[in-house]
Amino acid sequence: MEELLKINRRNFLKTGGIAAAAAALNLNAFDAIAAGDLVKLTILHTNDVHSRIEPFPMDGSKYQGLGGTARRSALIKSIRASENNVLLFDAGDIFQGTPYFNKYGGELEIKLMSEMNYDAATMGNHDFDNGLEGFHKQLPHANFPVLCSNYDFSNTLLNKSTLPYQVFKKQGIKIGVFGIGIKLAGLVGDRNYGDTVFLDPVKTANQTASLLKNELKCDLVICLSHLGYKYNTDRDSDQLLAKNTRNIDLIIGGHTHTFMDQPEDVLNLDGKITTINQVGFAGINLGRLDYYFERYKGKRIKTAAPYTISDQLDS
């Protein structure tokens, strides 16, 4: 029991209800995984990489020497080598920020993401910087889907280029992932987004998340969002999105270049946890969230119990 208490203190428990059970689970995690009763899913993510292929130059600036695709790729490879179920996502603004984009139009950014085996990405406002045509032109280099649920591209060049959502399967777990983009008017030049129709982010997210969780029976629903973490005004943000929706477990955010000390856990409309995370910009950090699922037999439980949350990995 002393052991349990120790773990309880170390882990930040959101709710007491299943604390003891979860702590016990923590102790026996290896056995449970070996028995197939516990499935571990690892989510890795970036946002606002902004064409930062190489680390920031050593020039005395704040982020000198940080970032770089070669390091990120090595880390991703090592995580993939030790974990069975890894998914890698990006929350947009892949383009713009170094001369690589000015010179090559985003070709290298997309090629490297494909090489790192990104599983999906959404579009940020800067991904429109060379117009719809500029983005479209680089898509042949992508071996991952671009997910946008609230940009209606029907009347544009991109009408067959994106998907609203994608369902991934990992060891029996279904993960539904969709993309939410920021309002383009006032942020992106009119010509650059053309006849793209912007749909309400909260409403669209709610519909898409409900579809993924309730109809397509996903065990985890992830939103790749380029809305931005939070604002002082009532502008759509990840915080507003989390509070005003149901069925989203995780929002991987971007746009505001926010370095969060730790992910934020918000109670959504159902009183359940929607986690928001964002890892700054330029590939300075790589975010990681491990989700553990326990297999049970019988009917689907509608009122899922709260789960334990810790801001450190199991060693």
282-311 residues in contact with another protein (CB under 8 A) are: 283-301, 304-305, 307-311
Give Cα 170 distance to the centre of its chain: 16
Using alpha carbons, list the distances in angstroms from residue 310 to 24, 61, 272, 300. Answer: 15, 33, 17, 26
Q: Which is nearer to another protein, 1 or 301 (CB)?
A: 301
Paired tokens of 221: 């629903």
The one among 18, 167, 199, 202 contacting another protein by CB under 8 A? 18
- Please name the residues in contact with 68: beta carbons below 8 A apart, sequence gap of 6 or more: 52, 53, 54, 55, 283
Q: How near is the Cβ of 169 to another protein at its closest, in Å?
A: 12
The one among 96, 138, 162, 274 contacting another protein by CB under 8 A? 96
Rg (CA), the chain: 20
- Please name the residues in contact with 248: beta carbons below 8 A apart, sequence gap of 6 or more: 205, 209, 221, 222, 223, 241, 242, 268, 274
Using alpha carbons, list the distances in angstroms from residue 291 to 126, 138, 170, 214, 249. Answer: 31, 33, 12, 20, 10
**Which one of the spans 51-59, 144-152, 208-216, 222-230 is the region binding another protein (CB under 8 A)?**
51-59
- Please name the residues in contact with 31: beta carbons below 8 A apart, sequence gap of 6 or more: none
91 makes contact with another protein (CB under 8 A): no
**Which one of the spans 1-9, 21-29, 144-152, 202-210 is the region binding another protein (CB under 8 A)?**
21-29
Enumerate residues 135-164 that contact another protein by CB under 8 A: none
The one among 73, 156, 166, 244 contacting another protein by CB under 8 A? 73
Paired tokens of 11: 């882990």
Q: How near is the Cβ of 2 to another protein at its closest, in Å?
A: 21
The one among 209, 263, 274, 276 contacting another protein by CB under 8 A? 263
279 makes contact with another protein (CB under 8 A): yes
- Please name the residues in contact with 208: beta carbons below 8 A apart, sequence gap of 6 or more: 149, 164, 165, 178
The one among 84, 172, 197, 231 contacting another protein by CB under 8 A? 172
Q: How near is the Cβ of 288 to another protein at its closest, in Å?
A: 5
The one among 94, 108, 182, 276 contacting another protein by CB under 8 A? 108
CB 252 within 8 A of CB 225: yes
33 makes contact with another protein (CB under 8 A): no
**Residue 100, Cβ neighbours under 10 Å: how many?**
20
Q: How near is the Cβ of 82 to another protein at its closest, in Å?
A: 14
**Which one of the spans 82-90, 158-166, 181-189, 238-246 is the region binding another protein (CB under 8 A)?**
181-189
The one among 2, 9, 60, 215 contacting another protein by CB under 8 A? 60
Q: How near is the Cβ of 1 to another protein at its closest, in Å?
A: 20
Helix-helix angle 107-115:69-82, to 10 degrees: 20
Q: Which is nearer to another protein, 9 or 299 (CB)?
A: 299
Q: How near is the Cβ of 4 to another protein at its closest, in Å?
A: 14
Give Cα 226 distance to the centre of its chain: 10
**Which one of the spans 140-148, 180-188, 206-214, 237-245 is the region binding another protein (CB under 8 A)?**
180-188
How do beta strands 120-121 and 151-152 pair? unpaired
**Residue 167, Cβ neighbours under 10 Å: how many?**
14
133 makes contact with another protein (CB under 8 A): no
